[in-house]
């Protein structure tokens, strides 16, 4: 190969990195500069009025919080238990390998297919109808493989000697897991959980047919009712509304609030990770 000018070589890579950063910059700049003026206390504390063209997005915020909580209640205990089984109990049998293969495949299944599955299973077969519960469980299934993977990683970092310490004083295996292994792995598990939930909070495709609604007057809070959610709200405002230009500011505000929620959860996760590293 002909020798390139070193400055030029360096420039190629810098250009790639710069472009990636440019993408991020555009996203942040556009959403913040146009969403910020819309934000106000009223925007996050009032419901929409005048056919969505005015008012706030409180029901959507409320719906997203509730949805995320249901997702967590379902996926966190199951995910942690499964990870404990795989890392602490499972022997290397064909069954274990099948479970691991399932987890890997589940994490690659497109989110819209989870939406279909939620529709077929929760909404139709189990008779929950389009509701916040159906949608939360659907997102719970979607989150399950991520929770399992991150929890297992956290458990794997706990050295065998920690487990032996508990067994050595006569603890049963379950006691050693409950009292020593899980508490030691907690920061790692928590980081994974928060990151997974931040992803779930931003998902739209799985809730399209499982319960998200364009407009609900006030948040009902009942599990069997349809709900508004930030990502779905943004989708509807930006594509389905009849006065698209008129609701654009509200769409920007919604996008910024969604971004703030997601980044806040991410920062929480980084903080836990950072704090834990410093303690070690």
Partner 1 sequence: MQIRARENFDRTFRMIFRATGFLVIAVLGGIFIMLLYNSIAFFVKVSPWDFITGTQWNPSGRAASYGMLPLLVSTGIVTLGAMIIAVPLGIGTAAFISEYAKPGLKNILKPAIEMLAAVPSVAIGFLGIVIVGPGIAKITGQSNGLNALNGAILLAVMALPTIITVAEDAIHAVPRTYREASYGVGASRWQTLIHITIPAAAPGIIAAVMLGVGRAIGETMTVLMATGNVAAFPRGFFHSVRTITSTIAIEMGEVPYQTTHYFALFAIATVLFILTLAVNLIGEYFVNRFRKFQAA
Partner 2 sequence: MSEEKIKLSCSGLNLWFGKKQVLKNISIGFPENKVTALIGPSGCGKSTLLRCFNRMHDLNPDTRIEGKLLLDSEDLYNRAISVTQVRKRVGMVFQKANPFPKSIYENINYGLKINGIPSAERPAIVESAIKESFLWEEVRDELKKPATRLSGGQQQRLCIARTVALRPEVILMDEPCSALDPISTLKIEELIRKLKEHYTIVIVTHNMQQAQRVADKTVFMYLGEVIEEGVTDSVFNRPEKELTRNYISGYFG
Window 149 to 168, contacts with partner 2 (CB under 8 A): 159, 161-162, 164-168
Q: Which does 180 bind (CB under 5 to 8 A by kind): partner 1, partner 2, none?
A: partner 2
In the complex, the smallest distance separating the C-beta of residue 256 from partner 1, rounded to whole angstroms, is 9
Window 86 to 125, contacts with partner 2 (CB under 8 A): 91-92
Number of residues that bind partner 1 (CB under 8 A): 85
Give the nearer residue to partner 1 in terms of CB position, either 209 or 218: 209
Site membership for partner 2, residue 276 (CB under 8 A): no
Q: How far apart are CA 133 and CA 221, in angstroms?
A: 11
Task: Identify the residue among 169, 217, 239, 240 touching partner 2 (CB under 8 A).
Answer: 169
Q: How far apart are CA 119 and CA 110, in angstroms?
A: 15
In the complex, the smallest distance separating the C-beta of residue 201 from partner 2, rounded to whole angstroms, is 31
Task: Identify the residue among 24, 170, 217, 242 touching partner 2 (CB under 8 A).
Answer: 170
Give the nearer residue to partner 2 in terms of CB position, either 180 or 195: 180
Q: How far apart are CA 220 and CA 231, in angstroms?
A: 19
Site membership for partner 1, residue 209 (CB under 8 A): yes
């Amino acid at each position: 190969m002909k020798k390139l000018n070193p400055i030029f070589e360096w420039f190629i890579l810098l250009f790639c990195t710069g472009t990636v950063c440019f993408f991020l910059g555009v996203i942040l700049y556009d959403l913040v500069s146009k969403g910020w003026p819309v934000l106000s206390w009223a925007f996050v504390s009032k419901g929409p009025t005048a056919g969505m063209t005015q008012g706030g997005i409180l029901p959507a915020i409320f719906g997203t919080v509730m949805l995320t909580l249901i997702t967590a209640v379902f996926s966190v205990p199951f995910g942690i238990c499964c990870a404990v089984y795989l890392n602490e109990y499972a022997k290397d049998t064909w069954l274990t390998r099948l479970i691991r293969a399932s987890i890997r495949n589940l994490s690659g299944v497109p989110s819209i297919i989870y939406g279909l599955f939620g529709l077929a299973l929760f909404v139709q077969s189990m008779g929950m109808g389009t509701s916040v519960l159906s949608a939360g469980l659907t997102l719970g299934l979607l989150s399950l493989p991520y929770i399992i993977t991150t929890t297992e990683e956290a458990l794997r970092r706990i050295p065998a000697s920690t487990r032996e310490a508990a067994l050595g004083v006569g603890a049963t295996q379950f006691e050693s897991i409950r009292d020593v292994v899980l508490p030691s792995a907690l920061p790692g598990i928590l980081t994974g959980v928060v990151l997974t939930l931040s992803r779930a909070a931003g998902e739209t495709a799985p809730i399209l047919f499982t319960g998200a609604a364009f407009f609900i007057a006030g948040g009902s809070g009942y599990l069997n009712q349809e709900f508004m959610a930030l990502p779905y709200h943004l989708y509807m405002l930006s594509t389905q509304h009849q006065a698209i230009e008129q609701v654009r500011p509200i769409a920007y505000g919604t996008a910024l609030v969604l971004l703030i929620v997601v980044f806040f959860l991410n920062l929480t996760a980084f903080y836990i990770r950072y704090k834990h590293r410093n303690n070690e």
